[in-house]
Amino acid sequence: MADEPTKAEIALAQVAPRISDLCGKVNRWTRAGNQGRELYCPECAAETHVYHFAWSVMKCGKCKEYIEKYRWLTP
């Protein structure tokens, strides 16, 4: 099967095209740094701020979905 975008990813691209354009997914090399890092929910594009990546799943404060670390989008 091809790796096609989910409905949520398509919706996100329509709602927040700039986020999709400017962001990549979090990966194992993503670091928060001293100032922390902005993350965007792949389901609803809500912005959140993290200071570390010592977690594997985080709940979105807006849509309440549990999002795996490597699905979050970051600039």
Which positions touch Zn ion (CB under 5 A)? Answer: 41, 43-44, 46, 60, 62-63
Q: Is 26 exposed, middle or buried (0-12, 13-18, 19+ CB in 10 A)?
A: buried
- Shorter beta-carbon distance to Zn ion: residue 11 or 32: 11
- Shorter beta-carbon distance to Zn ion: residue 16 or 41: 41
- Shorter beta-carbon distance to Zn ion: residue 29 or 55: 55
DSSP letter at 4?
P
CB of 9 within 8 A of CB of 42?
Answer: yes
The nearest distance, CB 8 to Zn ion, in angstroms, is 9
